[in-house]
Each structure stands twice: as structure tokens, then as C-alpha cells.
Amino acid sequence: MVDVPKVTQLLKQAVDPKRVTDRDFDIVAYSRDLSPARQKMATHIVMPESREEVRGILRVASDNNVPVYIRGGGTSHWDAYLPQEPGILLDMSLMNQILEINDRDLTATIQPNCTWAKLDQELRKKGLTYLCSEAGGPAMTIGGSVMKAGGGPHSTAKFGFHGNQDIITLEMVLPNGDIVETGSAAWPSAGKFKRQCVGPDLAGLFIGAEGILGICTEITLRIRPATDVKERMVAVMKTLDDVIELGHFVNRCVGDEYLQGFYLWVDPNSPETFLVMMDVFGYEREIVDYRKTRILEKIKELGGTLGDRAPADDYYGRILTGLTDIFTAGVWHFFGSGSLRIDDIKFLYRVWREELIEKRGYKKAGFGGQVLPRDWLAFMVTNYREPAEWEEIIRISDEINEIVLNGPVAPYGIGGRDGLRPFLEKRDTGYYRLLKTIKKAVDPKDILQRGIFVRKEDLI
Amino acid sequence: MKIEQYRDMIYACGRCEFCRGTEFSDRCPQIFTQRWESSTARGRMAIARAILEGKLDYSKDLRERVFGCFLCGRCREECKKAAKIDIVAITKAMRADFVDRGVGAPEEGGKMTSTMAQKGNIFADSTSEHTKWAQGIKFQKGSGTLFFPGCLASHRFKEKTRILVQVLQAAGYKLDFLGDDQRCCGTPMWVTGDVRAAKQWAQDYVKKLKARGVKEIITPCPSCFRAFDEEYPQLLGLKEPPFKVRHSSQVLEEIVAQKRLPLKTSVPKVVTYHDPCEIGRYRGMYDQGRKVLTAIPGVQLKEMSRIREQAFCCGGGGGLKIMYPDYSQQVSEERLRDALQTTASVLATMCPACELNLTHAAYKTDAPLKVADVAEIVAVSAGLADKAILEPDYISDD
């Protein structure tokens, strides 16, 4: 049990008392995420402003054996920050500054809760941009993306996902309060310009770890000159095999750094219609036109039909500002999702069509995915009504997840007990054993994100 | 509970946080001032859901999160893209629940409403003080067109109100005025959740105006405009408003379109325009003020970065000026920053509450900018007012 009044008092000594709350109405606002995960209440919400304050909060937590959960923009899809047991929730909102835009080295250094949209606005004023993006809307924070190795509809074969490959250095506060840096930033007299140096890629240790090994307080990432030329295309392919061939083609011939988006969408009401949206960008018209021509030729060769580009404009154009009508049919849930080989998309499609639509009669979930970089990040997504349809969607998605994760699909994001953690913990893999070993070494009291990614009992 | 009727909407919140945006200062004035998630629309839907599920109850401590909303409608505008939740209606219902369940509005809000009910205006002005602005102006009793200035225009902006009436009369409008019989429109009542009293107030007011032969109301105040045009019909269960109601922006637009006033004097000013929430986002009236401004010779309209649907609140909405004046001031200064970035020397708007709040921000920060009503610029161009009224250092006798 958390001694709430005592911890409140201690937290108010660690940070400005105005930025500590234990009031139920404040806490309830943080008790859900974007997923159908059950409501989970923290005991306290704290808004730190600096790495030193984060360290002070961790000290209070450690001394009193209170777990700490870390929330960015609050749009997790898999129970990745909700308190699995009563504890302190850090609202990182105040750590949202852009610290430096270095247009010589092409790097930007930001605090973790800077949103992608905010960074994009500032970069564009200087003729710069970052390359890739999730479709998370305006609340999507860079720290949140990095801690889950974020990927989405904007990515490239060459540069990968923005929440991963584009990261240069990280500053992390470890559970023991130590403040560490990765990459070239780890060398005191160097700077923040290179990820892989000094030794092992320790940034990679934290990326995708969902905050269980440390709290991110600063990120340096790669940026690029803004691109002037953009082309968007929409095609309808006759078969999924054709989509696969097109996917292989763009990854070989035009997808290196020029094809930024390749997004497949199949509507449950028309499961034989394979809509593909593509986003090509570049610095020179001649090159973009050439790439576009190659894609168009391939689509033609495969017997696909070109369509109006308006849906692609709408989709890609709203990645940062918010997709239209996303909740008019109910609340979102992604399930049956993960990373898989380009050829293996047929497996996931079959599960969607046979297991979900035909056997279970659930016809509200669409099927889609992105084929860059060099593999699918695919998913099923539905809108459902809370609370009436909640139990049904949980039951169905658990069953589908079980089938999918027994196939050639690697989960993308783990989260807590209402996320994919139960699927991870029952598989006795070397990966999970190693992760537990690292977690025990770095966080022996299991303070950070207790119950997320790694089950508490597995650390004893 | 009144929020019960919005159950489906409350559960429809997908927690996307379009309502909050990219930054504290981006969209929502409440998160800008209060910071906690509970002060966003997303947070408020979580609170409302917890109340519906019996996990939370209305309390004095909670009031700041609900009465601290500026009711500016920015979140509702954003939610049109996502779940189409009428956050303003839900917030008003929550405020009404506070009253119905005996918790009540914040003290200053309650005082505002009782003052208004007892004295007829929110400032506790005497009748003679409240109608002072109209001294010397001839009105036509029984003309059927009532000029209704509202509390703020009567109390704080006497000169501006006089100028507006001069413009309307010069353009040929035959205006009636209630004079000593003028009372507040009742907005403070529903803003502070006192729906029962509001209903009675609306009933009495309609009766009084009908007895006077009022067919049309013209008002410079967006709250009064919406009171007669939206709130009264809602409170009284009417399908149509009991009177034709026009905001002064619509009338000024008509004057310009029909060339009812010669706008001959050049007003060589860079002017920026602030969209009042209650005629802008609430009613989609974005073009009226702009059309009038661009019809005035010499005026160069320079827009702020956030305009129309995306305009940031002035800080004067939702009763915050009275209930949480510090928050109100913070927001007005943020909005003023938008205006200053345009390099305009005149910040024009068409709402006494916006004018008051933005003027306070300009005074406090010593900004080189005059906050003016669009009608004042029209008056200067029509030769009805001295151009000095548009200078940043001009202070009226009000």
C-alpha cells in the first residue's frame, strides 16, 4: 500500500507543490489510454520540469517502494503507461522544449515531451524537416515514440522508423537517479552527433523498452532539409499477391529514401479491394518523376488501377494534425498487429478474413499496414462503442492476438497486463530472459513501469 | 444528473487529445493556465464518465476544473474532426449539476449571478449609471428594433456604445432602447449553472419585450446575442427564437453592403481582427467583421497566426473574468502576443468581453496597440468619430 499523504509531502519537497496532485479528479483524467485497457488509477500525478526533478521523484519512489509510471502524450495503444499497481504517474508535459536545432550537423535536440508537430513547425521555418512519422495526431510526443520505437505510415527503407533509426543520442535518468547519456554524448568532450560510437549502442537498449530501464529526459535526432517535391498516388490492386509484388518492388527500386509512404487498406465491407496509398518525396522534380513513373509502370504491369489521389492527400496530410472522423463510429482498438515479412502479409490477411470476419462474424475491423522499411507493420483496427461492446472486443482481440502471435508476426509494443505482456511472458525466450536480467541489474526494486513489459513476479 | 443526457458523447471520447494540440498554448486556454490533464476536454470527459459510473462526485475542489473552462469551444471545434462531442454542452451540464447537487458555483460566480438578479446588471450599477452612455441620444420607443447593449457595453464601454449607436442611427436604423428598464440578458445564470433561475429570467424577459412590441434585437454583445437567439429558445422549449436577433457585426456588414454610410475618410492603419468565440466558433460568423474592415479605405487587414475556427480565446469567456481573473489575464496576454506579432496598431474585435480583456492585457503589458470595436473604425471613416480614438494612447472617459 502506498502511504499517500506521506508520499504527497515528500513529492512536494522534490518539485514545486503546485505540480503534485493526489486529487481523485485529477488522477482519473490519466486513468485510460487510447486502447480498451481497463481503467487504472495512480496515487499521484507529478509534472517534473527537469532531469534533476525526475531524479528527486525517483529517489522518493525508491525510498518508499512506490512504482513510477511515465506518460507522454497519453495516446498509447497497449496499456504502456497505465499504473499496473498504485503508484506515481509522471506527466512529462512540461518537458517539451526544443533545445537546439543544429542546421550544420542536421540534428535537433529536444526534451521528450516535445511533440512531432511542434518540432515539425519549427523545423519548417528553417527549411528543415524530420523524415518519418506516425499517424498519432498533434498530441504524439517524440519521447513517447522513442520509448516504443515508434513507426508508422511515414518511414523509408533506408532510414526506417523515426522513433528508432533517426535517434542519435539519449539522456536517461536511471532508477538509481544516475543521469546517463548514450552515443557520442557519452564522451564528455565530444557532443551529440553520432549514435554508434564509444561502444555498444546503448540508445538501442532504451529505444522500445517502454520506459522500464530509465526515464528519457533529452533526445537528439536526425533532421533533414525539407523536401520540395512530393507526389501522392492511390492504386487499387487486384490481389494481395500483387500488393506483395509492388511492396517488394518499391523496397528494391524506389523505396530507399524516396518512397516515404506505402500504406495498404482493406475495408471489411470489401475484402477483395486492396487500396494502396503511396507518398513519394524528393529534392528534385526529375528524380521524383522518375520514381513515380517506375511505380506507375509496375502498377500497370501488375494490372492495378490508379485512382484519385485525394484519399492519400487526406491521410498523409493529416498525420500530424489529426485524422478525420476517427472516432465517429466509436473508440479505436488496434489488435492482431505486428511486424512481419513482406511475403507473410497473406497470413495476417487470412486470419483477418477467416478468423475474424467469417468465423467470428466481426465485420467492423479493417485491415491495413505499411510496407516500409522492408517489412510490414500491419494491423487490424476497429471502432467500437464503450462500454456496450467492450467485452466483445476484448474477447475477440485476445483470440485473434493469440492466433497472430503464434504465426510469423513479431509483436510491436508490449505494454502491461491489458496489452501484449501476457503473450510475451508465457514464451520462455532468451530475449525475455535477457531483458529480465538487465531490468534486475538496472532497476533492482522494480520502480520504473512496474508490471509493464516484464511481470513483477518474473523479477523476483 | 444533467450530464446523463450526454452519456453517449461522454463515452465516445477516444482520448486522442486533438482538443489539446501540440503545446499548452496551442488550442485550449484552460490547459494553458491549469496544466493538468483534468483541464482538457479529454480529461473532463474522463471526469464526467467517472461521475456517471459513480466513481467520482461533484465537489468544491473539482469546481476549478469545470468552472475554469473558458467555454471558448476550441476543443469542440477540434473534436468535430474526431468524435463530434459537444464539450461545451457537457461542461454547461456539469456546471448545472454542481448547482443542482448543492455544491454550487465558485463563490465569485455565485456573487455575479445574485448581483445580476438583484441589481439587474453584473456590476451592481445604479440605473442612472448603467444608462449614462445613452444620455443625449434620441431613441424611438416602439420602433420594434431594440438596441440591447448588455452589461459590459453599458458599464465599461460607454463611449464605444455611443459610437455604435451613432453609426447605426446614421445608417438609418430606428432604434428603441429599454433605458431604465434594461436588465442583464441572463447569461451569468447559465454560465454558473443556475438553469432554474435562468428559465424564469428568460420567461419574464420575453414577456416584457413582447409587451413593448419588440420585433428585432440588435446587440454588440455575442453573449446577449446568443442568449436571445439560442439560450432562450432552449430554456423555454421554443423551436424558434422569440425575436429576430442580430449581432452588430451582421448589421455593420449590411450597412457596408448596402452602402448605407459613406466611408470616405481614409483610416491608414494596420488592423488585425480577433474572432470572438461566441459569434465565431459558436455561430460561424467569421466574415462579417473582416468584410467591414476591408471596406474601410486605408485599412490594411493583417491576420494573426490563429484565426477563425482556430482563434485563441481572449480569456474573457465562461465567466472566468469574474471567477478566475488570473487565468483570464494570462490568456488575454497570450492572445495579445498573437496580435503584436502582426505589427498591427489596432486590434479590432466585436465583443465587449474580448475588448475588455484584451484592453487589460494591452494596459498591463504597455503594448503599442489600441483595442477597438470594428464600429469605431467605421465611425472614424464615416466622419462620426475622431481618429484619435484609434491611437494606442487614447483613453476614453468611461
Q: What is the DSSP string of A310-373?
A: HHHHHHHHTTTT--TTTTTTSEEEEEEEEEE-GGGHHHHHHIIIIIIIIIS---S-EEEEE-TT
Question: Which has more confidence, A181 or A261?
Answer: A181
**Is some CB atom of chain A closer than 8 A to the CB atom of B65?**
yes
Question: How many residues belong to chain B?
Answer: 398
Q: What are phi and psi of B169, to 5 degrees?
A: -70, -40
- Going by the DSSP 8-state scheme, the letter that residue A159 receives in this structure is T
Q: Which residues of B touch A135 (CB under 8 A)?
A: none
- How many distinct helices (H) and strands (E) make up chain B? 20, 7
Chain A residues with CB inside 8 Å of B22's CB? Answer: 115, 117-118, 121, 138-139
Cross-chain residue pair A386–B84, CB shorter than 8 Å: no
The answer to whether residues A66 and A11 touch, using CB atoms and an 8 Å cutoff, is no
Q: What is the pLDDT, as a whole number, of residue A255?
A: 66
A26 vs B contacts (CB less than 8 Å):
36-38, 65
User: Which residue is it, cell 482493406?
Assistant: A266
pLDDT tens sequence across A209-230: 999 999 999 999 999 998 878 8
B59 at interface of A, judged by CB pairs closer than 8 A = yes
| pLDDT of A194 over the 90 cut | yes
Q: Return the percentage of chain A with pLDDT > 90, whole number.
A: 78
**Which amino acid is residue A441, in one-letter code?**
A
pLDDT tens column, A276-326: 999 888 889 998 999 899 999 999 999 999 999 999 988 888 888 888 888
Reported confidence tier of residue A172, pLDDT bands at 50, 70, 90 = very high
| A372 — pLDDT class (breaks 50, 70, 90) | confident
* pLDDT beyond 90 at A257: no
Omega cis (within 30) before A311: no
The whole-angstrom separation of Cα B272 and Cα A292 is: 43
The pLDDT of residue B221: 98
- Give the pLDDT of residue A5: 98
Taking the CA atoms of B67, B70, B72 and B73 in sequence, report the sign of the dihedral they define: negative
Instruction: Report pLDDT for A113.
Output: 96
Q: Sort out which chain B residues have CB atoms less than 8 A from A115's CB and list them.
A: 22-23
Q: Which of B37, B62, B306, B327 is the mutation pick for testing A, counting most A CBs within 10 A?
A: B37
Given an 8 Å threshold on Cβ–Cβ distance, is B14 in contact with A332? yes
Question: Quick one: pLDDT at residue B35?
Answer: 96
Instruction: Report the pLDDT averaged over residues A56-78.
Output: 95
Is some CB atom of chain B closer than 8 A to the CB atom of A21? Answer: yes
SS3 content of chain A, % helix, strand, coil (to 5): 35, 25, 45
| Of residues A211, A170, A214, A208, the one with CA closest to residue A431 | A208
Determine the pLDDT at residue A428. Answer: 87
Looking at CA atoms only, how far is residue B381 from chain A in angstroms?
A: 38
Mean pLDDT for the stretch of residues A377-391: 96
Sign for the pseudo-dihedral over CA of B119, B122, B126, B128: negative
**Cell of residue A195, nine digits:** 549514435
The contacts of residue A134 (CB under 8 Å, 6+ apart) are: A116, A140, A145, A150, A151, A152, A153, A154, A162, A163, A319
d(CA B72, CA B309): 11
Going B337 to B339 to B341 to B346, the CA torsion angle's sign is negative
* pLDDT in the model for residue A261: 85
- Gap between the Cα atoms of A196 and A193, Å rounded: 10
Residues of B in contact with A36 (CB under 8 A): none
C-alpha cell at B337: 502576443
Average pLDDT value for residue range A38-66? 98
Between chains, do A322 and B61 touch, taking CB under 8 Å as contact? no
B36 in contact with A at a CB cutoff of 8 Å? Answer: yes
- Show residues of chain A in contact with B84, CB under 8 Å: 328
Segment A179-192 shows an average pLDDT of: 95
> Is the separation of the CB atoms in B204 and B261 below 8 Å?
no
Domains and CATH numbers, chain B: 2-100 (1.10.1060), 107-252 (3.40.50), 262-390 (3.40.50)
* Average pLDDT estimate for A424-438: 93
Q: Which of A28, A139, A386 sits opposite B17 (nearest CB)?
A: A139
Give residue A169's pLDDT. Answer: 97
Q: d(Cα B375, Cα A161) in Å, to the nearest integer?
A: 54
Pick among A24, A25, A385 to test the B interface (most B CBs inside 10 A): A25
Is the CB of residue A14 less than 8 Å from the CB of residue A55? no
Residue B9 C-alpha, separation from nearest chain A C-alpha, in angstroms: 10
> How many angstroms separate the Cα of A412 from the Cα of each of A150, A340, A428?
9, 10, 18
Q: Is A314 on the interface with B (CB under 8 A)?
A: no
CA B390 vs CA A90, B214, B370: distances in Å:
49, 34, 6
Gap between the Cα atoms of B201 and A395, Å rounded: 53
| pLDDT tens, residue by residue, B383-393 | 999 999 999 99
Please report residues of A whose CB lies closer than 8 A to that of B47.
25, 28-29
What pLDDT shows up at residue A339?
Answer: 95
Which residue from B23, B35, B55 is facing A118, i.e. has the nearest CB? B23
Taking only the tens of pLDDT, chain B with its 398 residues reads 999 999 999 999 999 989 998 889 999 999 999 999 999 999 999 999 999 999 999 999 999 999 999 999 999 999 998 999 999 999 999 999 999 999 999 999 999 999 999 999 999 999 999 999 999 999 999 999 999 999 999 999 999 999 999 999 999 999 999 999 999 999 999 999 999 999 999 999 999 999 999 999 999 999 999 999 999 999 999 999 999 999 999 999 999 999 999 999 999 999 999 999 999 999 999 999 999 999 999 999 999 999 999 999 999 999 999 999 999 999 999 999 999 999 999 999 999 999 999 999 999 999 999 999 999 999 999 999 999 999 999 988 77
